[in-house]
Amino acid sequence: IQSKLPNVGTTIFTVMSQLAMRQGAVNLGQGFPDFEGPRELFDALARHVREGRNQYAPMTGVPKLREQIALKTEKLYGRRIDADSDITVTSGATEALFAAFAAVVRSGDEVILLDPCYDSYAPAVELNGGLCVRIPLRLPDFSVDWQRVRDAVTPRTRIILINSPHNPSGAVLHRADMDALADIVRDTGILVISDEVYEHMVFDGVPHYSVLGHDELASRSFVISSFGKTYHCTGWKVGYCVAPPALSAEFRKVHQYLTFCTFNAAQCAIADVLESIPQHYLELPAFYQAKRDHFRSLLAGSRFQLLDVPGGYFQLVDYSAISELDDLAFCEWLVAEHKVAAIPLSPFYETAPDARLVRLCFAKNEATLADAAERLKAV
Ligand code: PMP
Ligand code: GLN
């Protein structure tokens, strides 16, 4: 068979998790917490299952969940959105990203991605006939060079994708970035996809700057988030997309044939905890900031150089004082010799820079972080 994705193999997250398992390593590779979400969430899930919410959910999502998302959006980002026309619940952010691309990308359209970027974007663009135009972020802070973005715009540009907090670097976008993006797309037909799955993980007192807080951008954006991140349940795959009615209508045409709906009882349970324990997501920045700071202090005596982490749940480390290996070879060596799984950065790039960086996930309990840090200090 002639592959539609000849350059795609198995994702680096699966590859490294399998290696971690085979090597009996501490897995700081694939991004997922090794601790549980709130007990209230599990109690609610069990109750909804027992009460019989086991058939299809409404196609656009459980109404109470959409209402709670609208309330949260208004409370945090100051925008009142319509729960019926603007919000669609999806099977994780991954489905939402795919559906957004499929809804608007036509054959030959260009999509601007900022490298390094999450690995599902480019294949989703290409399967829908689009062409990826990849602009590197600036090292070492992974900031956006908006002039380069502007220079990359052509009459075929259909979408600019942004991701804040950023996977893999943890960089966050600020108001000035949003204004720069708005300047570029004003008076064009360019749409924005804003991947905000780490919206509740921004540190040091800085607020998350959502596209939903920016009137001009919100009117032309698909804003995507994931309860997998917010409630430490990546395996539930419940996410959502917020977009103006005309964009949501097109989005839903895809979603209804991609998955139709997602796990009914889980949607009901998430709606319950959004309402009953809003402190959970309000306290997440402090929760993850403490993990970040703890992990950084544990690594202080190591030969890894730690990059700044303004958001997200990943620590980038520079290993150039340790090895000349390229990042994939270094991760293979690290997991085999020191029993710690990390993620190389090169799979997030079209053309990786000459840097020696790998990603470590700190969404782990104390014991896991301490164990990993001991091993990393021995490197
Ligand atoms: N976008 C980014 C930036 C991510 O890191 C992830 C999850 N690792 C996703 C999207 C996908 O989220 P979900 O698991 O909800 O599909
Ligand atoms: N988003 C997670 C990460 O960046 C992985 C998700 C996946 O394995 N598909 O590690």
- Which ipTM was obtained for this model? 0.98
Q: Which atom of ligand 2 is nearest to the CA of 17?
A: 8
Q: Which atom of ligand 2 is nearest to the CA of 343?
A: 10
Q: Is 90 in the pocket of ligand 1 (CB under 6 A)?
A: no
Residues of the chain with CATH 3.40.640.10: 39-277
Distance 188 CA to ligand 2 centre (A): 33
116 and 307 in contact (C-beta within 8 Å)?
Answer: no
Non-local CB neighbours of 33 within 8 Å, separated by 6+ positions:
232, 234, 313, 363, 364
Phi, psi of 245 (to 5 degrees): -50, -45
What is the model's pLDDT at position 185?
98
Q: Which atom of ligand 2 is nearest to the CA of 14?
A: 8
Could you identify the residue written with the tokens 């796990």?
A: 263
- CA-nearest residue for atom 4, ligand 2, is 31
Residue 109 burial class via C-beta count within 10 angstroms: exposed 0-12, middle 13-18, buried 19 and up: middle
What is the model's pLDDT at position 262?
98
Non-local CB neighbours of 220 within 8 Å, separated by 6+ positions:
185, 190, 191, 192, 244, 247
Non-local CB neighbours of 272 within 8 Å, separated by 6+ positions:
40, 41, 44, 64
- Alpha helix stretches (DSSP H) within 78-107: 92-104
What is the model's pLDDT at position 96?
99
310 and 203 in contact (C-beta within 8 Å)?
Answer: yes
Question: Which CATH fold would you assign to the domain 39-277?
Answer: Aspartate Aminotransferase; domain 2 (3.40.640)
- CA-nearest residue for atom 1, ligand 2, is 31
**Pocket perturbation via mutation, ligand 1, pick of 226, 238, 345 by most ligand atoms within 8 A of CB:** 226
Distance 30 CA to ligand 2 centre (A): 5
The mean pLDDT value of the chain amounts to: 98
Q: Is 311 in the pocket of ligand 1 (CB under 6 A)?
A: no
What is the model's pLDDT at position 308?
98
Residues of the chain with CATH 3.90.1150.10: 12-30+283-377
- CA-nearest residue for atom 5, ligand 1, is 167
Q: Is 170 in the pocket of ligand 1 (CB under 6 A)?
A: no
Distance 156 CA to ligand 2 centre (A): 30
- CA-nearest residue for atom 2, ligand 2, is 31
- CA nearest to 92, candidates 227, 256, 269: 227
Q: Is 363 in the pocket of ligand 1 (CB under 6 A)?
A: no
Give the three-state DSSP class for 75. helix
What is the model's pLDDT at position 28?
98
Tally of CB atoms within 10 A around 368: 19
Q: Which atom of ligand 1 is nearest to the CA of 228?
A: 15
What is the model's pLDDT at position 138?
97
Pocket of ligand 2 (CB under 6 A): 11, 13, 30-31, 167
**Pocket perturbation via mutation, ligand 1, pick of 197, 200, 241, 313 by most ligand atoms within 8 A of CB:** 197
Non-local CB neighbours of 246 within 8 Å, separated by 6+ positions:
none
What is the model's pLDDT at position 281?
98
CA distance 145 to 135: 9
- Which residues sit opposite 306 in a β-bridge? 317
What is the model's pLDDT at position 71?
98
The segments of the chain whose pLDDT lies below 50 read: none
What is the model's pLDDT at position 20?
98
Distance 29 CA to ligand 2 centre (A): 9
Q: Select the CATH number that applies to the domain covering 12-30+283-377 from these four: 3.40.50.300, 3.90.1150.10, 1.10.3720.10, 3.40.50.2300.
A: 3.90.1150.10
Q: Which atom of ligand 2 is nearest to the CA of 197?
A: 1
